[in-house]
Structure 1
Amino acid sequence: MDPTTRKIYHVHGYDSRQHLEDYLSNKSDMVFGEDFLKFPIENLAKTFTQGHINGDVLVDLSAGSFVHQLYAACEFFQHIIVLKVSDRCIMELKRWLDSRTGAFDWGHATKLHGEIQGNSDQFPDTEGKVRSTIPHVMKFDLEKENMTDPIVLPPADCIISVVLLDSICKDQDDYRRYLRKFSRMLKPGGHIMLIGALGITYFTVGKDKLHAFTYDEDFARKALVGEGFVIDYCKVQKRTNVSDLMDYKAMIFIAAHKEK
């Protein structure tokens, strides 16, 4: 596939609702649940419940209109600030935040989080907790020095980023450059959690095929260390499904902290 024919997530955008339906829905033919729902929820819950990552502000820098990566985080942070590059993703997420008719149903993911945490009987409360912890969903510009200009955000205690770097980077230099920008948003000693797809070259949303940055575990580790992070935990899970919607080989979860 010629990369020049593919769309670029932060340049061309995509149908954010279709993206959720294709990769994160509860439909019987949705094959990505193990990799895109269980893997992130399980590793985030494990990391947060260890108790050393908490604070006032968490910034979410994720592609799409995901919320499941915030289920565990909302128990450990007073405020979650969600940043998006796409107006369409913001509108889809706000539909869920405002509990509007037609919002994407995250009930299956919420229940899974409850089962992993061992409190599945309380899972409806999780969605309310996430909603109450998000004061702002904001658009940001990847190319600005201050990506939220003219607003200056408080330094974050933690950043979560799900497949955003995979979607926006064209090469290794881009990955390091954006990672450096993310790092500047953190307090000294702050934490970052990256969830990505290894060995990917494209992903499909509806009729659109989009570019994805190809990298491996070794590169991700070296990029973080090169930007002044200490890796605390890393987990790689081989792909568990068969689908031509995307061509990744494995999922990766990395938790690291910024050296003071």
Structure 2
Amino acid sequence: MDSSTHKLYHVHDFDSRQCLEHYFSDKPDMAFGEDSLNFLIENLRQLFAVGHIKGEILIDISLGSFVHHLYSACEFFKNIIVLKVNNRCIMELKRWVDERTGAFYWGHTSTLLQEKEENSDQFQDQEEKLRSAIQHVVKYDLEKENMTDPLVLPPADCVISALLLDVINKGQDDYIRYLRKFSKLLKPGGHLIIIGSLGATYFTVGKDKFHAYTYDEDFVRKALVGEGFIINYCKVKERTAVSDLTDYKSIIFIAAHKK
């Protein structure tokens, strides 16, 4: 299958549960633990621990239905609004939020966070804290001027976008256009946190291959500065996973605030 036949995450049917099993589960053969679990949790924990990023509202607009990247955030924001691209992702997330039968198991990720904290006792109920903090799960349409139309969201103190900008665009212009849309969700001075996969061309979910936009660290930095952001924090981790499910070369974690 050449790249021109790869599916698009936000256009074609996307199996969010299969994505969780491939890239975020606790299965022994899950190859992405260091990259998709540990790296996200550790960098968000460190970033929020400094205390500069906090407030009333955090908006998360990320790929699929994973939640572990929000554990530390719920300690610093009263309300978390999660935006999802399709009903399948929404249902998968709500199954976990509502503690329904068959919800995806995230205990291995909350344990990871506990192990990193000196006072781990305060994090023993982290999943419950996060469930309580997620106030709304909202469907969005990238092509609308107001992505959540007819709902108008309140301006956010912080926006997190994990692995989404990689898969919703076909090139540089699209990336910057969607970055601008995410920026509009922020208050003046608000913070944007982006987690992305560098050098990728595809990722696999079930039997389907999905398109990924290939870019590097320099491109992300220039795109953020060009949209009026000041970069505060950046870490890049070289890939450790051995798997042909996806071909990214490294993971980038970058945080910036709006001028």
- Shorter-chain TM-score bucket reads over 0.9
Identity among equivalent pairs (%): 70
SS of residue matched to 1:167: coil
SS of residue matched to 2:63: coil
Is residue 257 from structure 1 mapped to residue 257 from structure 2 by the alignment?
yes
Q: Which residue of 2 aligns with 1:54?
A: 54
Q: Which residue of 2 aligns with 1:180?
A: 180
* 1:21-170 matched pairs, under 5 angstroms: 21-170=21-170
Distance 1:121 1:188 in 2: 36
Question: What amino acid maps onto 1:12 in structure 2?
Answer: H
Quote how far apart the aligned CAs of 1:117 are: 2.2
Distance 2:92 2:26 in 1: 17
Unaligned runs of 5+ in 1: none
Distance of aligned partners of 1:114 and 1:23 in 2 relative to their CA distance in 1, 3 Å threshold = same
> Would the aligned equivalents of 1:63 and 1:162 in 2 still touch at CA under 8 Å?
yes
Q: Which residue of 2 aligns with 1:205?
A: 205
Distance 2:241 2:67 in 1: 22
Quote how far apart the aligned CAs of 1:249 are: 0.2
> Would the aligned equivalents of 1:48 and 1:72 in 2 still touch at CA under 8 Å?
yes
Quote how far apart the aligned CAs of 1:115 are: 1.2
Is residue 224 from structure 1 mapped to residue 192 from structure 2 by the alignment?
no
Number of residue equivalences? 259
Distance 1:122 1:41 in 2: 16
Question: What amino acid maps onto 2:226 in structure 1?
Answer: G
Q: Which residue of 2 aligns with 1:19?
A: 19
Q: Which residue of 2 aligns with 1:191?
A: 191
Question: What amino acid maps onto 1:44 in structure 2?
Answer: L
Quote how far apart the aligned CAs of 1:124 are: 3.5
Quote how far apart the aligned CAs of 1:13 are: 2.9
SS of residue matched to 1:64: coil
CA shift digits 1:86-116 (9 cap, x unpaired)? 1100000000000011100000001001112
TM-score normalised over the length of structure 2:
0.98
Quote how far apart the aligned CAs of 1:122 are: 4.4
> Would the aligned equivalents of 1:111 and 1:120 in 2 still touch at CA under 8 Å?
no
Distance 1:118 1:212 in 2: 38
Distance 1:119 1:108 in 2: 18
Distance 1:13 1:223 in 2: 29
> Would the aligned equivalents of 1:200 and 1:248 in 2 still touch at CA under 8 Å?
yes
TM-score normalised over the length of structure 1:
0.98
Distance 1:240 1:215 in 2: 19
Question: What amino acid maps onto 1:21 in structure 2?
Answer: E
SS of residue matched to 1:230: strand
Larger helix proportion, structure 1 or 2? 1
**RMSD value, Cα:** 0.9
Distance 1:170 1:65 in 2: 22
